[in-house]
Amino acid sequence: MKVQPAAFLRTTLPLGLDMLAQYDSGRYHSIWLPDHMVSFWPESIWTPEFTDLATVSPSPHRHLDGMAVAAAAAVLTRTTPIVTTVVDTVRRHPAMLAQSALTLDHLSRGRFVLGLGSGELENTVPYGFDFETPVARFEEAIRVIKMLWESDGPVDFEGRFHRLEHARLDTEPYDGRYPPIWIGAAGPRMLRITGRYADGWWPNGAYTPEDYHQKLTIVREAAERAGRDPAAITPAVTQICLIGDDDEIAEMLKAPLVKAIILLITADDLRRFGYEHPMGPQWRGVQDFDPVQLSRDKIIRFCEQVDTRAITDIFPCGTPKQVAHQVKGFCDAGMRVFKLMEYGSMAGLRFSARSADKVRETEDEILRLVGAEHG
């Protein structure tokens, strides 16, 4: 399997559907769409006091429904797969996910990939959803989806979270094939679930090629134990990075919205790199992070305490060539599809204006580096 970049279609306003023709050009493995209620950036610092991005967008949380936007992308493209990155199994019932995925696969003529995850605090708890035991709920949801797809006739099921009684989904799959399922996973249990059920995988936190390889090994071993072909699971990654020269990187690291990257990382993971987490030793990253609840004073204290060397130690940072060389390590570890999330764009309008060009240049350099080995 050759190495390819993925395109990223925002599901926030303003909506960039005009980019779909470029994304459907053959350059990209797939087009990835997130599905959120809120973003990762604390609204307490989304003000002109902290960022000029707030002068052009009144909120970082102007999200649209990811599945609905995927439907638009499905009918506006012709050849490139459409992937949700990711839909959680807390807010959406698995029966609805099963039906929606079939619908999107028919709209796209067999190009839809159902990307799933176990959920995040900020998108669930504020809206009254039960976020207890999300991994157990996740595995049961996948079982329900597959039962509804694959059963011939009504389905009865009595689970811990879901109950089906004479439930049926008679819609046939497009061209005789159900949509692939990709899973976002990092913990051992989620990685094993990925091996048992998934057709593709993203790590939710694999910060070194060695860690990526170890997690991918768990996925593949679980696939083997389930009697599945481990090589049929596509290894992917969403790679946060900062792209620029030394002076640009130094300026990016001063920006509060860039420093906020550390909020996504667990205290345990940060400690492995030699740093203590400003949010305390029990911080669980996205499992604890609610950007709406972080007050201005609390986020200011956080920004004052962050050692920005942690960002440059954990994430690829530097010129396109430097970042490409770091990402190549993940290719060598088994990764085959990548999306660069260039967080330097969060340092302000001057940086965001050039971010897409720098990402493309870095993608080209990665493809050049791996072409002879993985082409």
What pLDDT is stored for residue 356 in this prediction? 96
Domains annotated for the chain, with CATH where assigned, are 4-244+319-370 (3.20.20.30)
Name the region of 318 (left: φ>0; alpha: ψ -120 to 50; beta: rest). left
Query: Which residues contact residue 270 at a Cβ distance below 8 angstroms, ignoring those fewer than 6 apart?
Result: 262, 276, 277, 310, 314
Report yes or no on whether pTM surpasses 0.85: yes
Task: Specify whether the CB–CB gap between 69 and 32 falls below 8 A.
Answer: no
Q: What is the pLDDT along the chain (375 residues), one digit of tens a residue?
A: 899 999 999 999 999 999 999 999 999 999 999 999 999 888 899 999 999 999 999 999 999 999 999 999 999 999 999 999 999 999 999 999 999 999 999 999 999 999 999 999 899 999 999 999 999 999 999 999 999 999 999 999 999 999 999 999 999 999 999 999 999 999 999 999 999 999 999 998 889 999 999 999 999 999 999 999 999 999 999 999 999 999 999 999 999 999 999 999 999 999 999 999 999 999 998 888 888 888 999 999 999 999 999 999 999 999 999 999 999 999 999 999 999 999 999 999 999 999 999 999 999 999 999 984 444
- Asked if residues 102 and 171 have their Cβ atoms less than 8 Å apart, the reply is yes
Instruction: Report the percentage of the chain scoring pLDDT > 90.
Output: 93
SS3 55: helix
DSSP secondary structure letter of residue 5 = E
Per-residue model confidence (pLDDT) at position 341: 96
pLDDT digits (tens, 9 = 90+) for 142-174: 999 999 999 999 999 999 999 999 999 999 999
Closest listed residue to residue 355, CA positions, set 367, 370, 369, 340: 340
Burial of 130 (C-beta count, 10 Å sphere; 0-12/13-18/19+): exposed
The C-alpha R_g of the chain, in whole angstroms, comes to 20
CA–CA separation, 170 and 153 (whole Å): 7
Distance of alpha carbon 243 from alpha carbon 375, whole angstroms: 25
Q: What are the pLDDT digits (tens) for 264-297?
A: 999 999 999 999 999 999 999 888 888 888 899 9
CB atoms within 10 A of CB 44: 18
Whole-angstrom distance, CA of residue 42 vs CA of residue 295? 8
The answer to whether the CB of 336 falls within 8 A of the CB of 5 is: no
The predicted structure's pLDDT at residue 375: 43
Distance between CA atoms of 53 and 348, rounded to whole angstroms?
6
